Structure 1
Amino acid sequence: MDTEVLRSFVRAAEFGQLRHAADELGVTQQAVSKRIAALERTLGVRLFTRTARGVELTLDGQAFLPHARSIVAGVERAVAAVRPGSRALRVDVLGLRSAQALVLHDYWRSHPETDLDVVTLRVNDPRVAAAAVEAGDVDASFRTVTDPDALPPGVHMIHAFDSPLELLVGPKHPLAPARELTPSQLRGHRIWVPGIAPLSEWSDFYDQLATDFDLRIDAAGPHFGDEVLLDALAESAQVATLVGARDRYVWPPDHDLRRIPVVNPTLVYPLSLILPGANPHPGLRGIVTHLKGLPGLPGPVWRPTWATTPQRDDSGIGSARGSRPRQR
């Protein structure tokens, strides 16, 4: 059954006049009259009787109205749920414990009126996430396509913020007593980062990090989840891993894990935001403004080469800070 026919019936019942219903629907009074006549033929009953004031529901019309109204309202809710600008702002993050999710949570706490839907696309290739932005499946994605030429033509990418890395170790590890470490002090130690997926941005990141500082980045073995990784760190005197300073990890108190900042230079994971090139969700402007206000990092920093190119925001949303060349 045609939803527009049902909507015409509902509006005519509510207004009691076909002309007023037609004005709201943006059609002619004749079109509304034809729709209702077609509906009556389909149902085999009279829904309205004409009066000097307009139209009144028959008993069959009164019985039919709540069901028709429910169908029309359901369709309107379904459309609103997927229409940019009327549905919630849908932003993709790598994980709900990630730095991106925490930054979004900070924004939402300051702007609780924002209708925000934080999702995680189960993809490793950031180009797939960029395609999801282009298709409108998500409104923005905290991913980085390390080759800008690989971005779909309908999207662009801006620098969001920098995430400094920390070494995470158990109490038995020889580096556990340190208050801070330099990259050179990490040499020779096994840094276990399970789950480095081919084609992912973090694969490229760790490749460059290992090469530039002669580090032993080990991605061997399947990734059974953060809990298993944290258990292994607590029990080992040889294994360490790298985590973002804003990333949220929770472990039992008896694990006694230590998060140690890496400085001189600070190892930085640059996070980008992929945005649509046209018709962005209205809620994105506030997110980008929030990102612009995040404090920068003091002291020398290291970034991968793909973070050295300034990224412009030509969407009209507002530009976040451009990436700065890496320093050593």
Structure 2
Amino acid sequence: MDTEAVRSFVRAAELGQLQHAAGELGVTQQAVSKRIAALERELEVRLFTRTARGVELTLDGQAFLPHARSIVTGVDRAVTAIRPGSRALRIDVLGLRSAQAVVLHEYWRSHPDTDLDVVTLKVNDPHLAVAAVEAGDIDASFRSVTDPATLPRDVRMIHAFDSPLELLVGPRHPLAPARSLTPAQLRRHRIWVPGLAPRSEWSEFYDQLATEFDLRIDAAGPHFGDEVLLDILAESADVATLVGARDRYIWPTNHDLRRIPIVNPTLAYPLSLILPRTTPHPRLRAVVNHLASLTPLPGPTWRPSWATIPRRVG
């Protein structure tokens, strides 16, 4: 069934004249007449009778009108759901407690009128997030492809912000009393990052970090969730992990966990934003501008070799 013919029928029924319906729809009166005639042939009924004042619905037309209105409304809603600027801005974050989600929440608090849909794609390979952006399933993703040359032509990546790392330890750990730490002070201490996924950006990050500062990064074992990891840290005298300064973690007060900044240099995890190269969602520019306004990290900073992506849109 031709939905434009159904739309023409609805407007003609509501306005009572084919000429007025044609004016609203931006077509000729002849086009409206042909659409309605084709619809009548398909339905095998007469929908209108002509009068001196225009057109009036037949009994069949009266019965069909509420259903026709539902068809038009459904089509309009379907188009709105996929049209950038009319639908919510869909952005993928690594987790709802991650630094990306925290910064995105800060943006939304200052722009509460933004229709924002925060999603978490359950994928480790950033190229799968790239494919979702390319397909239009999401408008942007806070992921990094460490080799930008592998990006499809229609997708690009910009620098979002740097997330400084902190050491997270329990009260029995020998580094627990420290107010801050340098990377050299982390040597010989076990830094446990369970469940590092092959081909993930963070796996490559930790490989470069361990090589650069001679750190003992232990990725052994599956990751049973943050709660289990925090429980282990609270009881351990020799296990530590690394977390982002903006990442949100919640633990019982009796855990007495310590978050210790790492300085001289600050260890920065570079977060990128993947987005379409052309026709991005119109509300995405404001998010990128918010990211650009974030205060840069002070002092000397270490980043991995692939963190050289500029920040720009348009």
Same fold by TM-score, threshold 0.5 exceeded? yes
Please identify, of 263-272 and 251-260, the stretch whose mean Cα deviation from structure 2 is larger.
251-260
> d(CA) in 1 for partners of 2:85 and 2:180?
46
Matched residue type, 1:239: V
Structure 2 partner of 1:311: 310
Task: Measure the CA separation in 2 of the matches of 1:132 and 1:48.
Answer: 47
Q: What is the CA distance between 1:43 and its match in structure 2?
A: 3.1
Instruction: Mark the runs of 5 or more structure 1 residues left unpaired by the alignment.
Output: 317-328
Aligned mates of 1:310, 1:233 — CA distance in 2: 35
Structure 2 counterpart of 1:156: 156
* SS of 1:306 mapped into structure 2: coil
Q: Is 1:69 equivalent to 2:69 in the alignment?
A: yes
Q: Which residue of 1 aligns with 2:252?
A: 252
Alpha-carbon shift at residue 83 of structure 1 (Å): 1.7
Deviation at 1:23, TM superposition (A): 3.0
Q: In structure 2, how many angstroms separate the alpha carbons of the residues matched to 1:264 and 1:23?
A: 70
How far apart are 1:163 and its partner, in Å? 0.3
> Quick one: distance in 2 between partners of 1:21 and 1:98?
52
String of CA shifts for 1:274-315, please: whole Å, max 9, x gaps: 1211111110111111111100111111111111x35253x4
Matches of 1:99 and 1:310 in 2, distance apart?
Answer: 19
1:159 to partner: Cα distance: 1.0
Q: Does residue 20 in structure 1 map to residue 7 in structure 2?
A: no
Give the total of aligned pairs. Answer: 314
User: What RMSD, in angstroms, separates the aligned Cα atoms of the two structures?
Assistant: 1.6
Q: Residues 21 and 195 (structure 1 numbering): CA distance in 2 closer, same or farther, change over 3 Å?
A: farther
User: Aligned equivalents of 1:235 and 1:16: distance in 2?
Assistant: 78
Deviation larger for 237-246 or 65-74: 65-74
Q: Secondary structure at the match of 1:118?
A: strand
Residue identity (%): 82
Q: Which digits, 9 at most, give the CA deviation of each residue in 1:16-69, with x for residues without a partner? A: 222222233333322322222232333343322222222122333223222211
Which residue is 2:113 aligned to?
Answer: 113
**Letter matched to residue 299 of structure 1:** G
Match of 1:100 in 2: 100
Kept in 1: contact 2:292–2:311 (CA 8 A): no
The answer as to 2:305 corresponding to 1:295 is no
Read off the aligned partner of 2:179 and give its amino acid letter.
R
2:55 alignment partner in structure 1: 55
What residue number does 1:140 align with? 140
Q: Distance in 2 between matches of 1:105 and 1:7?
A: 40
1:219-270, Cα deviation, whole Å (9 max, x unpaired): 1111111111112112222211111000111112222211111111111001
Matched, 1:208 2:212: no
Mapped partners of 1:253, 1:50: distance in 2: 79
2:227·2:251 contact (CA, 8 Å) conserved in 1?
Answer: yes
The answer to whether the aligner puts 1:41 opposite 2:41 as a matched pair is: yes
- State TM-score, norm by structure 1: 0.91
Q: Which amino acid aligns with 2:310?
A: Q
